Homo-oligomer: A and B are copies of this chain.
Amino acid sequence: MAKQFAYDSLPIVQTKAGKLRGYQSEGTYIFKGIKYAKAERFQKPVDPDPWEGVIETASYGFVSPMLTQDNPKGEIIVPHRYWPQNEHCQNLNIWTQTLETEAHKPVLVWIHGGGFTMGSSIEQKAYNGENMSKYGDVVVVSVNHRLNILGYFDLSPYGEKYADSANAGQEDLIAALRWIKDNIAAFGGDPENVTIFGQSGGGMKVSGLMQMPAADGLFHKGIIMSGVAGDLMSYSTGDSQPIVQALLKQLGLTEDEVEKLETIPYYELAQAYNTVSPALAMQGLYVGCMPKPNAFYKGEGPAYGFRDHACKIPLIVGTVFGEFAMKPLPFNKEEISEADLKKALQERFHEHTDALTEEFAIAYPGKSLADLLQLDTIFRCPAKEFIKSFAEAGGRVYSYLFALEFPYQHKRTAWHCADIPYVFHNAEMVPVCNIPDVSDRLEEQIFSAVISFAKTGDPNHPGIPQWPETTADDEATMIFDEVCDLRHNFDEKLLQMYRDASPKIDLADLMAEMADDIQH
């Protein structure tokens, strides 16, 4: 059936820098690729040039260049959308139901993941903001910004103009939030009610912005999905000169010629960086590609202490059951015999098996014991720590765990990114996320919680059990699953036992694995 579409009859939108025109589809006004800032390489973004006349903003803008190319293999679980890359990628997209300047609709700003090195505002099909805007009656914004060495590479010893090149990607995000504050009313949004939400690296960007004074007042709530980095961020401290020197040498440049890094083609810069950085990273030295604490960025809350302003930002923080358990179980968990399952568990957990399985059955009643082999601790442990320390610092925080099983590879547990389609009300765009009698209801439960939170700072709504905020002693975790359930400190003991039964994870290995897995 023909969809509703409008273009010529739509009002022109006046922004600070100039007039623009989007289009309307099925009632939603859509604007793509709006330039919110411009920047020289490694330097802070500044306001975009104003323009005369009306610009058509109906095409997505460039996304940040990456260091390597994806090899898409897991499209069935996380369908991607790639796009041409250019470092002049400071642009954003808007979906809204109204262009009334007095409408004051809640604004949700999506900050994409892919660590700090990959991804884009449209990298996953499920990032499309149309349904969220339509079903939630909110203004949805998604943002591109500089990544990897373009966004996170400390050149501050080499000149004042590089003062925050270590966090240039975050500076872009701040510029985007400032653009939103100045302009979003013209798109029906409320500049005084802005929720930033992100998953994986996107979640880390949310917590990072909480610790950047320049972002204060530009957003009011945050959602951190599978995105507490924990110890990973400790790699981003230390002297930045070794990597800069190695890079210059590789390119045949001297330290006096640092400015040439601003103009050489990105392909060559990236090639040189990819050549020299692994050896330094192995030594635990700073190699960039994630935010670095400095005068502009106060470091992550759990390690450096939450800033007073950060504690005033209500948060939702959570993870999914399986996260990086990307390899399917080597058996069909619905058919395996009890004896074989026990054998498989013992191979992994040895003498801890009995106690662990007993505790797992308490924490996750109804789940197959086989799922213990897929249980995530990489994200869940730092997320718990974050939630606890934020609550202790006086912050308001709601905890969740997304534990749905999927009709793929015999009830596979939720993978990293599996919850995103439900948050965006986009399950229909990801066939594997559609489960008869389950997914429609769960999508409504998750989506409505996000929208309620964006509206009022409280995720509660009639469709879910009462969801209290977490206190220092009581982690009240909403389990999003076939049946939603609120549990208290439910996996504290399980995770302790799991850690005791597990070899220490090497963070360098993990990072390499992440780079590989994130493509799935």
Contact = CB atoms under 8 A, between A and B. Distances in A.
A220 to B, nearest CB: 32
Interface in A66-111: 69-76, 81-86
Contacts of A85: 69
Contacts of A410: 8
A491 to B, nearest CB: 28
Interface string A427-442: 1100110111111100
A311 to B, nearest CB: 40
A10 to B, nearest CB: 11
Contact of A83 (B2, B72, B86, B428): B72
Query: Most chain-B Cβ atoms within 10 A of its Cβ — which of A8, A71, A436, A437?
Result: A8
Given A8-B410, A408-B8, A432-B7, A76 B60 contact: no
B7 A409 contact: yes
Contacts of A438: 2
Nearest to A441: B2
A32 interface: yes
Interface residues of A, number: 47
Interface in A450-483: none
Contacts of A427: 2
Query: Most chain-B Cβ atoms within 10 A of its Cβ — which of A2, A62, A70?
Result: A2
A5 interface: yes
Contacts of A17: none
Given A60-B72, A72-B83, A6 B407 contact: yes
A327 interface: no
Contacts of A1: 428, 440
Given A59-B75, A408-B7, A410-B8, A436 B2 contact: yes
Interface string A398-428: 0000000001111000000000000000011
B8 A409 contact: yes
A283 interface: no
A437 B4 CA distance: 11
A56 interface: yes
Nearest to A78: B59
A407 B5 contact: yes
A87 to B, nearest CB: 12
A135 interface: no
A428 B3 contact: yes
Contact of A3 (B25, B75, B409, B434): B434
A425 B217 CA distance: 48
B84 A84 contact: no
Given A76-B58, A84-B72, A2 B435 contact: yes
Contacts of A436: 2, 4
A331 interface: no
A127 to B, nearest CB: 14
A51 interface: no
A425 to B, nearest CB: 12
Nearest to A409: B8
A92 to B, nearest CB: 15
A297 interface: no
A427 B4 CA distance: 12
Contacts of A76: 7, 23, 56, 58-59
A407 B72 contact: no
A81 B81 contact: yes
A73 B439 CA distance: 36
Nearest to A435: B2
Contacts of A32: 75
A438 B437 CA distance: 37
Contact of A84 (B70, B86, B428): B70
Interface of A: 1-8, 23, 25-26, 32, 56, 58-60, 62, 69-76, 81-86, 267, 407-410, 427-428, 431-432, 434-440
25 contacts: A1-B440, A2-B436, A3-B428, A4-B434, A4-B436, A5-B407, A5-B434, A5-B435, A7-B76, A7-B407, A7-B409, A7-B432, A8-B407, A8-B408, A23-B76, A23-B431, A23-B432, A59-B74, A59-B75, A59-B76, A60-B75, A69-B85, A71-B84, A81-B81, A267-B267
Nearest 4 pairs of A and B residues by beta carbon: A59-B75, A58-B76, A25-B431, A2-B434
Given A2-B436, A62-B71, 7 more contacts: A3-B428, A5-B407, A5-B435, A58-B75, A59-B76, A60-B75, A82-B83
